[in-house]
Copies of this chain bind each other. A is one copy, B any other.
Amino acid sequence: MKKIEIVQGLLAANNATASGNRALLDRHRCLAVNIMSAPGAGKTSVVLRTIAGLGGSVRTGVIEGDVASTVDAEKVQDAARAVVQINTKGMPESCALVADMVDAALRRMPLDRLDIVLIENVGNLICPSEFDLGEHLKVVIASTPEGDDKPLKYPLIFADADAVIINKLDLLPYVDFDMDRFTHAVRDLNARAPFFPLSCKTGEGVAEWVAWLRDRMHNA
């Protein structure tokens, strides 16, 4: 039982840190969004489209989580008001962000001058579902080339999502992806999350996602 006890102790400690993160964000009236997906589904592209869609009046910070590299932070640094890159390589958890990492990142951000923090999690459909980061919203991105069976194989991350983005709609004519099969599979796990089919390449559908997110900011 030793390992299980330690794991539960770690998760309890993570939840406490996550609650602290959420309280810190709330004090600054800053909405935090945990963006999760498989590698290459388009998290960074969604972040860039979201910042552009929200417009200059919404001040956006970004936390970039990756095992290694600063590729994503470099891509968003011109668009965001503040960017912190977290590299998880060599950390006890390398397959997901945990609340401690986000705590450290938030302390390096000018929260009193930000309205929203987009947290781009490590590319992974499994580990990120286990760790509360202190976010207000969990968003999962699926992309059409991955296939429509991902909710069956990675149920937890879809069950807990507050919104599901289906990216790379522009590739739909070239791949085997049945939108009805995908949305039904998610609905079996999650009765409430809205779907946002979109293409970061063409911009199709981005406005609907951004409008929904803007509503969440006003209701926060």
Which positions in A face B, CB cutoff 8 Å?
A: 2-4, 6-7, 10, 38-40, 66-69, 71-72, 89, 92, 94-95, 122-127, 143, 145-147, 149-150, 152-156, 168, 170-171, 174-175
Residue on B nearest A130 in the bound complex, by CB: B94
Q: Report B-chain residues with C-beta under 8 Å of the C-beta of A147.
A: 40
B146 and A40 contacting across the interface, CB-CB below 8 Å: yes
A3 to chain B, nearest CB (A): 6
B68 and A153 contacting across the interface, CB-CB below 8 Å: yes
With the chains together, A4 CA to B94 CA distance in Å?
14
B154 and A39 contacting across the interface, CB-CB below 8 Å: yes
Would you mind naming 6 contact pairs between A and B with Cβ atoms under 8 Å apart?
Answer: A38-B39, A40-B143, A95-B127, A124-B125, A126-B127, A145-B145
Given contacts A67-B153, A168-B145, contact A123 B125 (CB under 8 A): yes
With the chains together, A38 CA to B38 CA distance in Å?
7
Copies in the complex: 2
Which residue from B3, B7, B66, B171 sits with its C-beta under 8 Å from A175? Answer: B171
With the chains together, A92 CA to B3 CA distance in Å?
9
Which residue from B6, B89, B145, B171 sits with its C-beta under 8 Å from A3? Answer: B6
With the chains together, A171 CA to B71 CA distance in Å?
23
Given contacts A38-B38, A174-B170, A174-B171, contact A95 B124 (CB under 8 A): yes
Q: Report B-chain residues with C-beta under 8 Å of the C-beta of A126.
A: 67, 94-95, 122, 124, 127
With the chains together, A156 CA to B88 CA distance in Å?
12
Given contacts A3-B10, A170-B174, contact A40 B145 (CB under 8 A): yes
A73 to chain B, nearest CB (A): 12
The CB with the most chain B CB atoms within 10 A, among A3, A38, A39, A89, is that of A39
